[in-house]
Amino acid sequence: MVDDRREGERESVEFELDGVPVTVDDDGSSLLDALRGPLGVRSVKDGCSPQGQCGCCTVLIDGAPRVSCVTPTRRVAGRSVTTLAGLDGGRRDVLAGAFLDAGASQCGFCTPGILVRLAALDPAAPVATVERALAAHLCRCTGWRTILEAWDAARPTATPVTVASGRSLVAARERASIEGGGPQDVGLDVVLGRARFADDTAPADALVAVPDGSGGWVTGETLAEARRAAGKVQGRRTTAALRHPIEVPDGDWLVTLRTSWVEPAYLETDASWCVPGGEPASPLANGGAFGAKVDSPAPAAARALADQHGRAVRVVLAREDVVRLGPKRPPVAAGIAADGSGVLRVVRTSGIAQAIAAIAPGLVVEEVEVAGPPTSAAIRAAGWAEAVVLLAGAQHRAGAGPPVPAHSAVAVSPDGTVEVHVAGALVRARVDGVGVHLRVNAGDPLDEVVLRSYCVGAAHMALSWVRREAIAVDVAGEPLDLTIRSFGILRAADMPAVEVEIVGGRASAPPVAAGDAVFAAVAAAEWVGQGCPPEWPTDR
Ligand code: FES
């Protein structure tokens, strides 16, 4: 919130928006609120407002990139504001086409802000400059490398490649939907921020509802008004230490591992809207949020509130709400012995024991009660990826010692290559000083650009998980890290190159999802490469 005016004290603010003079009431709110509210610009996204940390709301102010959620509307009086629609059309279209051709946009929520920032750079700028520029942004899906490749492809000297080169976007959508776990679009509309996210399609006059902090909802005529009424306080990053809440069970273990709570960190916060008696909009418009929105409270709240108020209601969670209310990857503490037996303790989570047993039936699973945020087995490979990691670590550590029985789902080569065979996908992963090396058989690739993009994104999430990701939780179970930058997501400059070899042709086998297997295999390869340190994250 940026309001320092008294109630009822309003003036108007005039500025130029995408070359057109506009006037809005100054109610003390942010430029983002003005753009998405009365001015109806929905390409500017809200991923963390008013934290100013995700970059999704980036615009140009007098030609310089700024995050609009921390820019008071009154500060742009008499100035020029440029969104995606107002960029130089030629440069925007070249960049957007390059993003599509490189698979540099998946859910598409972060992409408009990134395009705006990149469009302000010298088109001949080197990759290091682009990596620095991307430090102001977060992307959870793509793993950054495809964005850098898109930048390279959009250089003035590059030979343009376009989807007209024979690529089928129908097949691309099919691959994206398989990987995303639900209907997912691929095309220029996604790149340009028109993926029909729930909060973008809500009626302009809908009542806005936000969590009240006590399990209920507060409403207002605008998002800023509702958040003021809820007493929203901007979340902070804590200085409290991370906790690993479970002890490793006693035993003569070859390797052990402890993890903490991990935030799924999807960029599009939960949102929905509904009219009285209607069907609520899905918070999963163009991506599965890595399984974390399966039980989102937004749709049911939108429906109930619309019926209660007799008008359209738009429900929007702030980033702090998502951290407090949304499910986390459950912490584990585990040990595995030289004979391959082991015990994996995990925070009690419905369905997690079955997920682990499907991959590692030899591990005894003990669910333990720990005060903490909600956890979910629906989150990407929850539980079973940890089992893959343990099996790989044990096989690697056994090395020349007593053999750990080979497991059909996981195999480790002497050079640290981890092979994972799960749900029909076969993935080999190795992490070295050059980067991540992947060999992926996911049956019919359908569209190699999209399959590769999901593999790179999964590799990024895996490296990020092992090295950096976790949130602090106090002993009462309350999350303390409430800002999107405190989750530990690896930045563009920290993401190594990813080499993806796709095997299996059109007629090889039906298409299956590869992303989760890549995630598990890269996490295991990274851990093995680090020498199997006993606590994650390893780098903070
Ligand atoms: Fe970047 Fe989804 S494409 S967050």
Residue 146 Cβ inside 6 Å of ligand 1? The answer reads no
In angstroms, the first-to-last Cα distance of the chain is: 31
Q: Which atom of ligand 1 is nearest to the CA of 266?
A: 4
- As a three-state string, the secondary structure of 174-201 is HHHHHHHCCCCCCCHHHHCCCCCCHHHH
Q: Which atom of ligand 1 is nearest to the CA of 108?
A: 3
For residue 107, report the distance from its CA to the centre of ligand 1, in Å. 5
Tell me the best of 45, 267, 290, 464 to mutate to test the pocket of ligand 1, counting ligand atoms within 8 Å of each CB and taking the most. 267
Is residue 495 within 8 Å of 141, Cβ to Cβ? Answer: no
Kindly report the number of other CB atoms within 10 A of residue 5's CB atom.
12
Residue 83 Cβ inside 6 Å of ligand 1? The answer reads no
Token code pair at residue 512: 């299956």
For residue 12, report the distance from its CA to the centre of ligand 1, in Å. 35
Residue 492 Cβ inside 6 Å of ligand 1? The answer reads no
**Closest residue to atom 1 of ligand 1, CA basis:** 139
Looking up tokens 């682990």 gives: 356
Helices (H), 237-359: 298-309, 319-325, 352-359
For residue 395, report the distance from its CA to the centre of ligand 1, in Å. 35
Residue 106 Cβ inside 6 Å of ligand 1? The answer reads yes
pLDDT at residue 10, as a whole number: 66
* 537 upstream amide cis, omega within 30 of 0: yes
pTM for the model stands at 0.95
Q: At 334, give phi and psi (nearest 5°).
A: -145, 155
pLDDT tens digits in sequence order for the chain, 540 residues long: 444 455 445 689 999 999 999 999 998 899 999 999 999 999 999 999 999 999 999 999 999 999 999 999 999 999 999 999 999 999 999 999 999 999 999 999 999 999 999 999 999 999 999 999 999 999 999 999 999 999 999 998 766 655 545 789 999 999 999 999 989 999 999 999 999 999 999 999 999 999 999 999 999 999 999 999 999 888 888 888 999 999 999 999 999 999 999 999 999 999 999 999 999 999 999 988 999 999 999 999 999 999 999 999 999 999 999 999 999 999 999 999 887 789 999 999 999 999 999 999 889 999 999 999 999 999 999 999 999 999 999 999 988 555 566 667 999 999 999 999 999 999 999 999 999 999 999 999 999 999 999 999 999 999 999 999 999 999 999 999 999 999 999 999 999 999 999 998 776 789 999 999 999 999 999 999 999 999 999 998
The type of residue at 523 is A
* Helix axes 89-102 and 145-153, enclosed angle (nearest 10): 130
Q: Which residues of 490-527 are buried (b: 16+ CB within 10 A; e: fewer)?
A: bbbebbbebebebebeeeeeebbbbbbbbbbbbbbbbb
Q: At 196, give phi and psi (nearest 5°).
A: 60, 45
For residue 117, report the distance from its CA to the centre of ligand 1, in Å. 15
For residue 104, report the distance from its CA to the centre of ligand 1, in Å. 8
Kindly report the number of other CB atoms within 10 A of residue 199's CB atom.
25
Residue 519 Cβ inside 6 Å of ligand 1? The answer reads no
β-bridge mates for residue 60, sequence order: 65, 82
Token code pair at residue 213: 């902090």
Length of the chain: 540
For residue 472, report the distance from its CA to the centre of ligand 1, in Å. 24
Token code pair at residue 479: 């999350």
Give the strands of the sheet with 255-258, arranged side by side.
Answer: 255-258, 332-336, 342-347, 363-368
Give the strands of the sheet with 217-220, arranged side by side.
Answer: 217-220, 207-211, 313-316, 271-274
Is residue 352 within 8 Å of 382, Cβ to Cβ? Answer: yes
Q: At 13, give phi and psi (nearest 5°).
A: -125, 130
The type of residue at 138 is L
pLDDT at residue 156, as a whole number: 85
pLDDT at residue 16, as a whole number: 98
For residue 268, report the distance from its CA to the centre of ligand 1, in Å. 9
For residue 512, report the distance from its CA to the centre of ligand 1, in Å. 22
Residue 142 Cβ inside 6 Å of ligand 1? The answer reads yes
**Cα distance between residue 253 and residue 334, in whole Å:** 9
Q: Which atom of ligand 1 is nearest to the CA of 287?
A: 2
The type of residue at 252 is D
